[in-house]
Structure 1
Amino acid sequence: MSYLKIDHVDKRFQRGTATTEVLKDINLVIGKGEYVSVIGHSGCGKSTLLNIIAGLTPVSAGAVLLEGKEVNSPGPERAVVFQNHSLLPWLTVYDNVALAVNKVFGRQKSKAERHDWIMHNLDLVQMGHAKDKRPAEISGGMKQRVGIARGLAMEPKILLLDEPFGALDALTRAHLQDSIMQIHAALGNTMIMITHDVDEAVLLSDRIVMMTNGPSARIGEVLDVRLERPRKRLDLVADRTYIAAREAVLKFLYERHRFVEAA
């Protein structure tokens, strides 16, 4: 039995009498512990697909199955980290993570156990020292670390990342990418990431899912990234496998499926 199966999924949006087909016949099987990136031009339905996996958006046809059970609503086994960190500004770093922990584990863990679990996840993203700060008092990269900690603290089967580094400067982005690689190596959890960044996709992923342009976007190709782990970005600069993977994604995006803006 597959871990996560996206089975002949279509998604249509209705506005009045007009129907827009965003996704058409999406089929994908993701194994436990895989890191999969979904890449494509704007408007190809990447975030819609992520929201369907998260249970935030219903399918129009087909189904999403997690360990054989249909996904049709949000659940703590599928945590989402958005590009906008979505932290509550009046709560401390600690309390933002505690909000998720208390919701998921309020009846399973004692207060002391929940505290230890919150601190464990903050330490995992190197934010334990800032537990008493509020979002306005920390940087954008630190906010995103807290968002990742909050997602991990739910102990999800799948961590869904919707362009989690898109709003960050290049240096902060690189540090967070390295952190995600370390967390994935340590925990072995399944991660699915939406990205526009080709280098990011190749660096982090086991497989890259390349979407055709919308409307009626499909999976055009799936690329296996055959790079050994752990990966170090400086070592990959001249690596032939890395260069070939990067070239394959770029060719797909900019030769075969070039984005054309509407006039």
Structure 2
Amino acid sequence: MSKTYLDLSAVGMRFKTDKGFFEALVDVNLKIAKGEFISLIGHSGCGKSTVLNLVAGLTEATSGGIILDGREVDGPGPERSVVFQNHALLPWLTVYQNVELAVRQVMKEASKKDVDEKVRYYLSLVQMDHALDKKPHEISGGMKQRVGIARALSLSPKVLLMDEPFGALDALTRAHLQDSVMEIQAELNNTVIMITHDVDEAVLLSDRIVMMTNGPAATIGEILHIDLPRPRDRVELADNPHYHHLRQQVLSFLYEKQSKVTRLKSSKHNQSSAVA
């Protein structure tokens, strides 16, 4: 593997609740190379979003630490931009203005011409340069998400964080956006961490799939290397035996191995309760 660019070391996360402390994550260790596309997958409540929030700097780990490009992550920053399931565009601004607002955060001293070129470049990357003057309510859900991706990319982030970015879209729009993300990542060589519940999406897009164990006290259960050559064509992969083998490995972890772990946890809990 290439030199580590993003390093999660012994990361743990506890939340204080009315009933005491809730252990969300324990001992999460993950080394990511520059330009890698990583998917986080697991059942609901396994801490995927917590990992993403920790890397984004929106939450501070209670143990361990995160290093990005030689510097500790200790808060939010434009070098880590997030694409949410909800596009979160400002409704009173046009498509152009939504991206321009982000660009000006990282190009405060730039000329109007330079800002304009950057805004148009990222909107063209997501094929939205035809809708510069439209407001969010005038475009479809898929188009809004494209603008959200353009806005995140326009910050020139070291790491792009995506929290189920296609989850609310119909199947066809989702497929088109997945293809666009693959093309963009190939062009920009962004380091990407994406949360998904979709096994096919994870195999199609990723270099590695990080499979999380069930919570509480979730951690990384397995990491699967996706050694399918790029560029990837979803139609060709439909008949690819190795693609189906990789897909089956993820499903096996999620529905067979995790069931055994859950039963074991339940058994231990019941034994503890009996002793008490």
TM-score interval (norm. to shorter): over 0.9
Please give the alpha-carbon distance, in whole angstroms, between the structure 2 residues aligned to 1:257 and 1:110.
54
Please give the alpha-carbon distance, in whole angstroms, between the structure 2 residues aligned to 1:227 and 1:83.
27
Please give the alpha-carbon distance, in whole angstroms, between the structure 2 residues aligned to 1:136 and 1:257.
42
Amino acid at match of 1:144: Q
Q: Larger C-alpha radius of gyration, 1 or 2?
A: 2
Q: Which residue of 2 aligns with 1:117?
A: 118
Question: Is the CA contact 1:2–1:68 (under 8 Å) kept in the aligned structure 2?
Answer: no
Q: Deviation of residue 17 (structure 1)?
A: 5.2
Q: Deviation of residue 216 (structure 1)?
A: 0.4
Structure 1 segments unaligned to the other structure (5+ residues): none
Q: Which residue of 2 aligns with 1:102?
A: 104
Q: Which residue of 1 aligns with 2:241?
A: 240
Q: Which residue of 2 aligns with 1:13?
A: 15
Question: Is the CA contact 1:163–1:195 (under 8 Å) kept in the aligned structure 2?
Answer: yes
Cα offsets for 1:97-140 (capped at 9, x unmatched): 11111111112x21110011000000000001101001101000
Q: Which residue of 2 aligns with 1:66?
A: 68
Alignment of 1:14-93 (within 5 A): 14-16=16-18, 18-93=20-95
Please give the alpha-carbon distance, in whole angstroms, between the structure 2 residues aligned to 1:208 and 1:2.
17
Please give the alpha-carbon distance, in whole angstroms, between the structure 1 residues aligned to 2:61 and 2:74.
8
Question: Is the CA contact 1:226–1:241 (under 8 Å) kept in the aligned structure 2?
Answer: no
Amino acid at match of 1:102: R
TM-score between both structures, scaled by the size of structure 1: 0.97
Please give the alpha-carbon distance, in whole angstroms, between the structure 2 residues aligned to 1:3 and 1:213.
27
SS in 1 for 2:215: coil
Count of matched residue positions in the alignment of Structure 1 and Structure 2:
260
Q: Deviation of residue 149 (structure 1)?
A: 0.1
Please give the alpha-carbon distance, in whole angstroms, between the structure 2 residues aligned to 1:241 and 1:208.
15
Please give the alpha-carbon distance, in whole angstroms, between the structure 2 residues aligned to 1:182 and 1:230.
8
Between 1:75-84 and 1:10-19, the stretch displaced more is 10-19
Structure 2 segments unaligned to the other structure (5+ residues): 267-276
- Deviating above 6 A after TM superposition, structure 1's stretches of 4 or more consecutive aligned residues are none
Please give the alpha-carbon distance, in whole angstroms, between the structure 2 residues aligned to 1:96 and 1:67.
28
Cα offsets for 1:141-166 (capped at 9, x unmatched): 00000000001100001110100000
Q: Which residue of 2 aligns with 1:231?
A: 232
SS in 2 for 1:257: helix
Q: Deviation of residue 189 (structure 1)?
A: 1.0
Please give the alpha-carbon distance, in whole angstroms, between the structure 2 residues aligned to 1:68 and 1:104.
20
The percentage of counterpart residues that share the same residue type is 61
